[in-house]
Amino acid sequence: GAGVSQTPSNKVTEKGKYVELRCDPISGHTALYWYRQSLGQGPEFLIYFQGTGAADDSGLPNDRFFAVRPEGSVSTLKIQRTERGDSAVYLCASSLRRQGRAGELFFGEGSRLTVL
């Protein structure tokens, strides 16, 4: 399919472990976003990439969270020393670049992370 693809769809890990979540955006979309959605909440902004660079990482909660997009396409969200509070659905979205502001975001189905 041509939509945003996220893997894994489900990840169960133990407290203190390292986790990587992958996002494959729509081909040709230069903008890529990561959001976190906890139960009963709306999507919470984490980080935005324009091409290979993180243009806005103001939403990353602390230095345990890191994201990369080395070739301007696939992105990986990395979480070190996971905590139970990190349990959430992690959403990736991509969009065409619009001058100066956010365009329509196309979302993946999310990666559900459970930290035991």
Partner 1 sequence: AQRVTQPEKLLSVFKGAPVELKCNYSYSGSPELFWYVQYSRQRLQLLLRHISRESIKGFTADLNKGETSFHLKKPFAQEEDSAMYYCALSGRPNSGGSNYKLTFGKGTLLTVNP
Binding site for partner 1 (CB under 8 A): 3-4, 31, 33, 35, 40-45, 48, 50, 55-56, 58-59, 91, 93, 99-102, 104-110
Distance of closest approach, residue 105 Cβ to partner 1, in angstroms? 6
Closest Cα to residue 52, out of 34, 28, 30? 30
Q: How far is the CB of 109 from partner 1 (least distance, A)?
A: 5
Q: Which is nearer to partner 1, 73 or 108 (CB)?
A: 108
Q: How many residues are given for the chain?
A: 116
Nearer to partner 1, 93 or 115 (CB): 93
Distance CA 104, CA 85 (A): 30
By C-alpha distance, which of 93, 77, 69, 66 is closest to 5? 93
Q: Measured from the CB atom, is 3 or 8 closer to partner 1?
A: 3
In 3D space, the residue among 63, 62, 58, 61 whose CA is nearest the CA of residue 47 turns out to be 58
